[in-house]
Amino acid sequence: VTDIDSSRMLLRVEQGKGKKDRMAMLSPMLLSTLRQWYKHAKAHHLMLPGGWLFPGQNPLNPIGTRQLSRACQSACLDAGLNKKVSMHTLRHSFATHLLEDKVDIRIIQTLLGHSKLETTALYAQVASKLLREVVSPLDTLAL
């Protein structure tokens, strides 16, 4: 719970991908959902006072990666998705959507916690919508 900074709209991610700590953006919609979950979990005694927002089977520990993976797979089935999806797919989709919305790749690099721009540039390969919108300089010439 203490990793949510609603005044700055940031989430603290500890030991995320690559065992890196980082701050992640917090959307107002996610904040609202997290608040709803907090109220529900507190009312139903699903978390310890001052404990994890998403406790594991042992409430002294956070939910594990295996449980998260299962929840992701369950959500895919519920959504009727036929493709193989993992937690990393969500990260990849986030970056791809930002690229397609023309967010500067250096901002995406920071959001993903990449130290090298080349790593972030790999996401550009799948941003096909953005590639289709690029106009060739040849097409801008007045003939």
Q: Assess if residue 99 is contained within a domain.
A: yes
**Alpha helix stretches (DSSP H) within the chain:** 28-43, 65-79, 87-100, 105-112, 117-121, 128-133
Number of domains making up the chain: 2
d(CA 70, CA 120): 27
Q: Which of 88, 110, 87 is nearest to 98 (CA)?
A: 110
Q: Assess if residue 77 is contained within a domain.
A: no
d(CA 139, CA 104): 24
Q: Residues 57, 110: one domain?
A: no
pLDDT attached to residue 101: 87
For the entire predicted model, the pTM comes to: 0.72
pLDDT attached to residue 10: 93
Q: Assess if residue 18 is contained within a domain.
A: yes
Q: How confident is the model at residue 126 (pLDDT cuts 50, 70, 90)?
A: low
In the predicted model, what is the mean pLDDT of residues 11-36?
Answer: 87
pLDDT attached to residue 38: 94
The number of angstroms, rounded, from the C-alpha of 126 to the middle of its chain's C-alpha atoms is 17
Would you call 126 exposed, middle or buried from its count of C-beta atoms within 10 A (0-12, 13-18, 19+)?
middle
Q: How confident is the model at residue 3 (pLDDT cuts 50, 70, 90)?
A: very high
pLDDT attached to residue 69: 93
pLDDT attached to residue 70: 93
Q: Is the pLDDT of residue 23 over 90?
A: no
Domain boundary among 13, 31, 63: 63
Position of tokens 């990793």? Answer: 3
In the predicted model, what is the mean pLDDT of residues 79-105?
Answer: 88
Q: Assess if residue 11 is contained within a domain.
A: yes
Greater confidence (12 vs 138) lies with 12
Q: Assess if residue 135 is contained within a domain.
A: no
pLDDT attached to residue 131: 64
In the predicted model, what is the mean pLDDT of residues 39-59?
Answer: 90
Q: Is the pLDDT of residue 5 over 80?
A: yes
Mean pLDDT of the chain: 86
